[in-house]
Amino acid sequence: MITLGAIKAATGHEAVTRYLEEVVLPGSDWNLVKVRRRTVRLEPPHAYWASYGVKLGRGELVYPEPDAEPVLEETAVPLAVEDAPAGDVSTAIEEADAELPQPSWTEERELRLIARGVFDPEHWSSYREKVGKALGGLGSDPMSGPARPALFDDTQHAIWFFPADPNLTSLHRAADPVEMLRLFRNHAPEVLEHPGRITEVKVELARYLPEIAAILRYDLETDPETSARTIYGKVQPFNRGAESHRVMTEIWKAAERSDGKLVVPRPLGYHPELGLYLQSSVAGKPISSDRTKPEFLPGVTHAAEALATLHESAIPTQKKLPLDREVSRLARTLDQFALVEPRAYFLLRELIAHLKDKLKGLPEEDWLPTHGDYKYDQLLHEDGNYSLIDFDFFALAENSFDLGKFCAYLVPSMPKSWEQSVAAEEGRKAFLNRYRELRPQASLQRFPIYETVNLAGRAMTLMWTQMRGWEQAAEALLVIGMERLKSRLP
């Protein structure tokens, strides 16, 4: 069994830098500019992932002006810190650093490097066999195109570069501008809003969850230019995109009937040979984690309206999200907490006991179609307008499933000031009040349980991401969960 310390050392910044300098870059004219760890993900006792942004440069060095100001590198803080979903542990806080202006190269590029370690030798043996079968036909040089992963038996870890992925075996094709140009030309009437000839496709990585999913941005250049369009594609394994397309088609119809209460991207097709689901882009940017910003409270109100619309939509789906599955997942996490944070272990153990006790005698709520991963950052805003995205977990669930999740993620895990906590509480009240105004008949007797389960789920996610200070944040969320479990609706 490989220890966590050994895995972290083998996949750490120093080891990755050495691998790049000694294995990847020799023989090329590219220079290593910077290696920055973006995310980590821990699933004890099975695996550990680390993702890196690798900046390269070549050509001539261009030096900054002598009086240039220091630069604070902007980082899009993902919800692993504030609000990552309990079942999505693929992200952790990105490191921001202020630094003096550095020389730049006339040509620069950035690669995404993934390192995955496997603790158990038997699991490693089966994993390396899977990787070989999945990507063995790719090349060996990541500088010139998709390359098969490098495997290290002594430390039981693998390294690969996007767009290769051991579980998303068609990702490198979906990220190929030439192949996608052919696809979009063959389906131009479906993807273009106005007639035109697609002349070029630019592909950009929007989001990547290694071995889970990737979201790609496609900028379609056309003749005439007025027909140009940006669309998004999601690559998932196991033909999941087919269901995504079916569900989004029904949600789009419901949105068209909602008088603006629900605004969603338009589905543009599913291509099974690539595992690629396509949809239109929507204007705006995600609501940030700053609860005091002017768009936050109106966004929360819109979220209540959108969820009420979904709950009334009667969209059919075979997928269900039962409460006992959520509670069982927390129970399975207990042993993991015992390995890394005993205090959180005891808090979670007590919380689970109270959850099970409170469930006794509580009747089920109405089962309704629902988003399944409802959080404030799933809302995009622009000029006072809001759109809802990311329906990957759409399913049937009890009435309070998404209500509890949304409210649980309103709570800041590491508030920078008391104003953030106050604004979160105001948002919670506004969200619940607007929803109950639209659906006064809603059955919400299990709401405290769902909110508590998701607060505990956030603590679980913090443990997996291993960000600095996660122990205290996880304990705080578990304490808040106990308080919510014993409280009434506001």
pLDDT, tens digit, 9 for 90 and up, residues 219-250: 999 999 999 999 999 999 999 999 999 999 99
pLDDT at 215: 97
SS3 60: strand
Question: Average pLDDT of the chain?
Answer: 92
pLDDT tens, residue by residue, 388-436: 999 999 999 999 999 999 999 999 999 999 999 999 999 999 999 999 9
- Report the pLDDT averaged over residues 441-460: 96
Could you tell me if 323 and 453 are in contact, meaning their C-beta atoms sit under 8 angstroms apart? yes
pLDDT at 337: 86
pLDDT at residue 108 tops 70: yes
What's the N-to-C CA distance of the chain in angstroms? Answer: 50
Lowest pLDDT segment from 64-73, 100-109, 265-274, 455-464 = 64-73
pLDDT at 355: 96
Share of the chain above pLDDT 90, in %: 84
Task: Give, in degrees to the nearest 5, the angle at Cα 427 between 422 and 429.
Answer: 100
pLDDT at 70: 55
Question: In the chain, helix, strand, coil percent, each to 5?
Answer: 40, 25, 35
- Report the pLDDT averaged over residues 4-30: 97
Band of the pLDDT at 90, cuts 50, 70, 90? very low
Band of the pLDDT at 68, cuts 50, 70, 90? low
pLDDT at 94: 40
pLDDT at 148: 96
Whole-number Å distance between alpha carbons of 468 and 93: 9
pTM of the model: 0.85
pLDDT at 93: 37
pLDDT at residue 338 tops 90: no
pLDDT at 356: 94
Whole-number Å distance between alpha carbons of 410 and 425: 8
**Cα separation values, 349 from 329, 333, 346, 461, 465, Å:** 12, 10, 5, 16, 20
pLDDT at residue 98 tops 70: no
Beta-carbon count within 10 A of 222 CB: 19
Look-up: residue for tokens 């990702």?
Answer: 171
> Which positions ≥6 away from 307 have C-beta within 8 Å?
370, 371, 374, 402, 403, 406, 435
Could you tell me if 41 and 154 are in contact, meaning their C-beta atoms sit under 8 angstroms apart? no
pLDDT at 177: 98
Query: Residue 225 gets which letter from DSSP?
Result: G
Could you tell me if 381 and 287 are in contact, meaning their C-beta atoms sit under 8 angstroms apart? yes
Band of the pLDDT at 69, cuts 50, 70, 90? low
Could you tell me if 376 and 411 are in contact, meaning their C-beta atoms sit under 8 angstroms apart? no
